[in-house]
Amino acid sequence: KPIVALLDEDAARKLVRLKSDRQVRVRVAQLADKCNEGDLTPQERSEYEAYVMAGEIIAIMQAQARVRLSRSGPYTRTRPSA
């Protein structure tokens, strides 16, 4: 059973909207550039692989949350108004 099935609708919506902060995106881009050039140190390679793995896990969970929300009623990709 997916972990996402344990979330209520509000938590699932928050998961769908989850994004990394700017500093993380900048760091991943730096590491990706160095990786493409073949210039990563072993420590940077481990860091980059951890970011990639975390991103893949989050993307899978977000996809599962979207499916869950689509089955539970109307779902929009925009933030609900406050």
pLDDT tens digits for 10-35?
999 999 999 999 999 999 999 999 99
Alpha carbons 44 and 50: distance in angstroms, whole number: 10
- What pLDDT score was predicted for residue 74? 58
pTM: 0.76
pLDDT score of 54 more than 80: yes
- What pLDDT score was predicted for residue 72? 78
Q: With pLDDT > 90 as the criterion, what percentage of the chain qualifies?
A: 73
Alpha carbons 57 and 81: distance in angstroms, whole number: 28
Q: 19-23, 52-56, 72-76: lowest mean pLDDT where?
A: 72-76
